[in-house]
Amino acid sequence: MYDQTDEVMDREEQTERRLDGRALGIGLLIGAALGAGAALLMAPSSGQDTRRQLRRGARKLYARSSEAVADLREDTDRLARRLARRGLKRSRDLARDARNNLGV
């Protein structure tokens, strides 16, 4: 017998893996920015140049991470809505089957 529950679970796992991949990407981006900041602090350049480079890097990191967080939020919202619809449909189907089995 074909069970849609397995198919739904497989798609949910794929979506969760994709979201985990994005979270990893965000973490790598933040780690790279921190590493670059540390490298700049250790570099033999003037304090003014270092501060300017840090500000520039911080602005770029903020822009990139803001976009990544917005994308992650959209994906999470979309997944939550889809799962809620599936849960509602499944509960309606189960209630209908129960009524049919009881002859109501």
d(CA 42, CA 12): 45
With a pLDDT cut of 70, the percent of the chain lying above it is: 83
The owner of tokens 């840090």 is: 54
Residues 8 and 86: beta-carbon distance below 8 Å: yes
Is 85 or 2 the better-scoring residue by pLDDT? 85
**Around Cβ 36, how many Cβ atoms within 10 Å?**
15
pLDDT at res. 1? 43
**Around Cβ 72, how many Cβ atoms within 10 Å?**
15
Is 5 or 25 the better-scoring residue by pLDDT? 25
Three-state secondary-structure class, residue 103: coil
pLDDT tens per residue, range 11-59: 777 767 766 777 777 888 888 888 887 777 776 767 788 788 888 888 8
Structure tokens at 38: 């540390």
